[in-house]
Amino acid sequence: MNSQEMYEKMKARLEKIVPDVELRYKAEIAVEINELKKQKNAVILGHNYMEPALFYSVPDFTGDSLDLSRKAAQTDKDIIVFCGVRFMAETAKILNPSKTVLLPAEKAGCSLAESITAEDVRALKAKFPGVPVVTYVNTYADVKAESDICCTSSNAAAVVESLHSDTVIFLPDEYLAKNVANETGKHIIFPTLAPQPPLPQAGEGVKGGEGQLDYQLIGWHGRCEVHEKFTVKDIEAVRAQFPDVVVLSHPECSPEVVAASNFSGSTNAMIRYVQQTKAPRYLVLTECAMGDNIAAANPEKDMLRLCMVRCPHMNTITMEETRDALKFNRYVIDVPEEIRVRAYRAVQRMLEIG
């Protein structure tokens, strides 16, 4: 496909979303990327939060973390370029270690992944011996390696239930943990790791907080710096202006925001919801670029989004960086084998649940 054809293809989808001058420029880069992709026998995976011009041009596969993990595990290409953030690229390497995994921007991190260390998980396990550990995929490989099983926002409750355990450690997203607790009817505590007298075992006595006994989930105070910003007041303000709006929120939003929404689900679940329902107008409380991508796929529907925050990490993955990743073979993601093998077990166990 030459750059004029690429421009036409992108324009058909993004005319109302991306300025024309930008589309022309990005179409040229997309052609370069596709050429490099062929030469290097690479596959490009694009997370739902990628900017629209990138999302609708160069990825071979798009989707949420779970989809893309599966694609990473199955690919027979030599190089996986992960247009997402570091923990996602690490997960690709964990699942398919013989491939070269490239993350186009070196500093594409995540506030959730950075909220917890492997040492924190070991301290929690020492404090709650024998309690299984579930970690959200938004964590680094060494944290996954300390876990029994991983989860994504689309399967978090199913993963917790699959353990059939009276008590589960659920890390690191405070809001996702609270939303899972609400969904599964479990009581959650957020322990401190400061030295304290040994805790009694869960399920044996009086009700109460950390030092007492009626809890089934043990959480951590990590937050997504994007989703934590949405408030119930935001929803009320939009509903005052558009009474017919259908509000969709990601479960990394606070439980109050989730309760005030019409629907809460993973990025894929939100995309499906918009496709399968017939409301004229939606408010999408998640990363702004994803709102753009849903709007592009559903031009007949009005997609409201609050773009006061874009994820500063996802935002570093641009078409220029993606081209340069292929050109200069950068930035290579490696996971030490001893960590990878243990993290693999936790990720694989999650993939088996679906």
Q: Annotate each residue in 40-59 with x if it binds ligand SF4 (CB under 6 A) or - if it does not, as one string.
A: --------------------
Gap between the Cα atoms of 127 and 43, Å rounded: 43
Compute the least distance from the CB of residue 65 to ligand SF4, in Å.
9
Q: Closest CB to ligand SF4 among 26 and 313?
A: 313
Compute the least distance from the CB of residue 140 to ligand SF4, in Å.
12
Compute the least distance from the CB of residue 83 to ligand SF4, in Å.
12
The verdict on 247 binding ligand SF4 (CB under 6 A) reads: no
Gap between the Cα atoms of 199 and 6, Å rounded: 62
The verdict on 314 binding ligand SF4 (CB under 6 A) reads: yes
The verdict on 111 binding ligand SF4 (CB under 6 A) reads: yes
Those residues whose C-beta lies under 8 Å from the C-beta of residue 349, and which sit 6 or more positions away, are 148, 149, 150
Q: Closest CB to ligand SF4 among 30 and 108?
A: 108
Compute the least distance from the CB of residue 49 to ligand SF4, in Å.
6
The verdict on 249 binding ligand SF4 (CB under 6 A) reads: no
Do 172 and 135 contact (CB within 8 A), yes or no? yes
**226, 274, 283, 333: residue in contact with ligand SF4 (rule CB under 6 A):** 226
Q: Which two tokens stand for residue 180?
A: 């899972």
The verdict on 287 binding ligand SF4 (CB under 6 A) reads: yes
Q: Closest CB to ligand SF4 among 13 and 313?
A: 313
The verdict on 270 binding ligand SF4 (CB under 6 A) reads: no
| Full strand arrangement of the beta sheet holding 133-136 | 149-151, 133-136, 168-171, 217-218, 188-189
What is the number of other CB atoms lying within 10 angstroms of the CB of residue 281?
14
CA angle 349, 75, 93 (to 5 degrees): 55
The verdict on 115 binding ligand SF4 (CB under 6 A) reads: no
Q: Closest CB to ligand SF4 among 57 and 138?
A: 138
Compute the least distance from the CB of residue 309 to ligand SF4, in Å.
9
**Residues 43-82 as b or e (16 or more Cβ within 10 Å = b):** bbbbbbbbbbbbbbbbbbebbbbbbbbebbbebebebbbb
Residue found under tokens 């006061």: 308
The verdict on 292 binding ligand SF4 (CB under 6 A) reads: no
Q: Closest CB to ligand SF4 among 132 and 252?
A: 252
Q: Annotate each residue in 67-96 with x if it binds ligand SF4 (CB under 6 A) or - if it does not, as one string.
A: ------------------x-----------
DSSP per-residue letters across 193-237: -S--SPPPPTTSS---STTSS--SEE---B--TTGGG--HHHHHH
CA angle 19, 24, 28 (to 5 degrees): 140
Size of the site for ligand SF4 (CB under 6 A): 12
| Full strand arrangement of the beta sheet holding 246-249 | 263-264, 246-249, 281-285, 302-305
User: Smallest Cα–Cα separation from 177: which of 124, 128, 214, 218?
Assistant: 218
Gap between the Cα atoms of 81 and 70, Å rounded: 14
Compute the least distance from the CB of residue 315 to ligand SF4, in Å.
9
Compute the least distance from the CB of residue 114 to ligand SF4, in Å.
9
Q: Among residue numbers 205 through 224, which ones bind ligand SF4 (CB under 6 A)?
A: 224
The verdict on 138 binding ligand SF4 (CB under 6 A) reads: yes
By CB under 6 A, name the binding residues for ligand SF4.
Answer: 85, 110-112, 138, 224-226, 287, 311, 313-314
